[in-house]
């Protein structure tokens, strides 16, 4: 293979549409824009969401409440079923151990343990938040919350 042998794959290159280059070109006269009208003019078209003067949908629907997504805390959820599956008897559950097991990753503000699933192992749990049902299951299994 040499530089003079290189060429693009078949179908990878296309000829430019040469608009307004005579009737026989197939794109002459109106240049593929039909006849007259707003969309045939240069710099034409309507903005996104414009409904021909009718009150647009985003203004017709009621607006209620406030979405604080920009400043809301990002909470990572771990269920008691995950603790049962990935941790051994007597282990400590904290951010570091959860990352090692691959249960959490990336950036977040809080770790919360929820009570979805059974827990029969004695674990020491040290996270930011625990639901009431998860707390009950951890303590019932003989574990502790640090």
Residue 28 domain-assigned (yes or no) = no
Residue 5 domain-assigned (yes or no) = no
Residue 50 domain-assigned (yes or no) = no
- Separation in Å, CA 102 to CA 99, 106, 127: 5, 11, 16
Residue 8 domain-assigned (yes or no) = no
**How many domains does the structure of the chain reveal?**
1
Residue 65 domain-assigned (yes or no) = no
pLDDT digits (tens, 9 = 90+) for 110-121: 999 999 999 999
What domain range is 135 assigned to?
Answer: 75-145
Residue 90 sits in a domain whose CATH number is 3.100.10.10
pTM: 0.58
Q: In degrees, to the nearest 5, what angle opens at C-alpha 78 toward C-alphas 76 and 84?
A: 165
pLDDT digits (tens, 9 = 90+) for 5-35: 999 999 999 999 999 999 998 999 999 999 9
Number of other residues whose CB lies within 10 A of the CB of residue 94: 14
The backbone region for 140, taken as left when phi is positive above 0, alpha when psi lies in -120 to 50, beta otherwise, is alpha
Residue 110 domain-assigned (yes or no) = yes
Contact assessment for residue 143 and residue 125, using Cβ atoms and an 8 Å cutoff = yes
Residue 82 domain-assigned (yes or no) = yes
């Amino acid at each position: 293979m040499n530089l003079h042998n290189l060429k693009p794959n078949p179908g990878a290159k296309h000829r430019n549409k040469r608009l307004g280059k005579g009737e026989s070109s197939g794109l002459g006269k109106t240049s593929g824009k039909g006849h007259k009208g707003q969309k045939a003019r240069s710099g034409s078209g309507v903005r996104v969401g414009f409904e021909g003067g009718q009150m647009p949908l985003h203004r017709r629907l009621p607006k209620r409440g406030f979405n604080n997504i920009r400043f809301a805390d990002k909470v990572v959820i771990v269920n008691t079923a995950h603790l049962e599956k990935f941790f051994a008897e007597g282990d400590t559950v904290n951010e570091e151990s959860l990352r090692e097991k691959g249960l959490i990753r990336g950036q977040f503000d809080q770790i919360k343990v929820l009570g979805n699933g059974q827990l029969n192992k004695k674990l020491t749990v040290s996270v930011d938040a625990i639901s009431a049902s998860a707390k009950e299951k951890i303590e019932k299994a003989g574990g502790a919350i640090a």
